[in-house]
Amino acid sequence: MARRYDPQSSPKENMQLFLRSIPLKLMVLLPIILVVAIPTYIYAAHAGGTVVPSVTNLFYNLSNGPAASAPTPVPDYPTVLPRVGSIAYSVAAGDSCDGILAQQMNMSSASEVFSDANPPTVKALNQTLGLDCHQLQPGMPVKLSPQYPLMAFGGLITKVSGTTSRVALPTPLIPVPNAQDQGPDCSNGCQLTVRIASNVTVGVDVSTSLQVKLGSWIWTQAMMPLKEVSGFPDYPYVDQNAPINGMTLRACDFQVDNTHDDNSASCSDIQPNTIASDGGSWLVGVVGSSGLSHWHYKINAPVGTQVLAWLAMDSNGNLSYHAGDPLYRYDAKSQLYVKL
């Protein structure tokens, strides 16, 4: 029997058969669906990528508490700077150098700081006082300087160095703030360049967990640099001829804008000093809004007065001035501090 062959359909015929099998309504709706669906998908994808993180960030900010308060208005710079100076005294009968320092300068630890067992310390004291402590005579004039003095001031941060950037830990869908907005990390210490007068800047070494930003205003009571004396690393006096401009101080009472660092180092922690044994510290500053007025010390003196004040230490280690404590003003004519 002869074989029979079924003719095979061509591709064109197959396509025609396929199209005939699709309902006419579906063929009409399909282009409309494509025209509507594609733009809708693109718009939804774009909206989801911006709206959802924005909404999430809104709830994040709400849960993160109120925004930080506005910075303290920048006060006017002082027209004069704090000054380290001396107090005039006349030796009385029976006086000793240790006794004079203890009674007149509240330096209870004078006999420990200046000891005959360590001759370089006594030699340095003789040079500072301008006389021989072993040959005192009644009526001898002597100039007494504040030991381990602090300086109180405010100023504008113009530079921050010796820091690391703060690291923000991201949460999914929550944009991470710029590291610059967080400020540098000074928790392990950094040095600030601070403008304290129109043409005067100082360095401030500080360790703080507060945000420290350029343009912020700081307040601080800081330990002044001491004069270097060979063989006497704990020499307690400042070089009175050293300029304030360019000086580097170590902060121990620190505030940025409106926020005080309650965990900052106490002044007695910055060595060397005799604050604990003396029961306080000498402080130099200037009366005014950018100086001593910030601490609300009850000092009755005109704005711009350079003062030397004794800050007593309380049981918690805090230093403050109290009415009746030793207080002096700088007299430009005599170039000495006189009682206020």
Rounded-to-integer distance, Cα 142 and Cα 88, Å = 6
**Where residue 166 falls among pLDDT bands split at 50, 70, 90?**
very low
pLDDT at res. 140: 97
User: What local confidence, expressed as pLDDT, does residue 128 receive?
Assistant: 95
Burial 36-53 (b: 16+ CB within 10 A, else e): eeeeeeeeeeeeeeeeee
Helical ranges in the chain per DSSP H: 11-21, 24-63, 97-104, 110-113, 119-129, 179-182, 275-278
Contact in structure between 187 and 207 (CB atoms under 8 Å): yes
Residue 265 has a pLDDT of 86
The pLDDT of residue 131: 94
Query: Looking at residue 20, what is its pLDDT?
Result: 66
Higher pLDDT, 20 or 59: 20
Q: What is the pLDDT of residues 126-154, one digit of tens each?
A: 999 999 999 999 999 999 999 999 999 99
pLDDT band at 68 (very low <50, low <70, confident <90, very high): very low
Q: Cα(325)–Cα(314) distance, rounded to whole angstroms?
A: 14
The model's pTM: 0.75
**Average confidence (pLDDT) over 215-236:** 96
Domain range summary for the chain, segments of one domain joined by +: 25-59
108-126 exposure pattern, b = at least 16 Cβ within 10 A, e = fewer: bbbeebbeeeeeebbbbbb
User: pLDDT at position 28, please?
Assistant: 64
Q: Which is it for strands 184-185 and 306-313: parallel, antiparallel or unpaired?
A: unpaired
The arithmetic mean of pLDDT across residues 304-333, rounded, is: 95
Structure confidence at residue 311 (pLDDT): 97
- Widest CA span in the chain: 155
3-state secondary structure 170-219: CECCECCCCHHHHCEECCCCEEEEEEEECCEEEEEEECCCCCCCCCCEEE
Q: What pLDDT, in 10s, does the model give residues 184-205?
A: 899 999 999 999 999 999 999 9
CA 257 to chain centroid: 9
Q: Cα angle vertex 154, ends 107, 246, to 5°?
A: 80
- The percent of the chain in helix, strand and coil, each rounded to the nearest 5, is 25, 25, 50
> What's the CA gap between 34 and 31, in Å, rounded?
5
d(CA 271, CA 62): 44
Cα Rg of the chain (Å, integer): 37
Which tokens belong to 102?
């203890």
124-128-134 Cα angle (round to 5): 70
So what's the pLDDT on residue 182? 60
Q: How high is the pLDDT of residue 175? A: 52
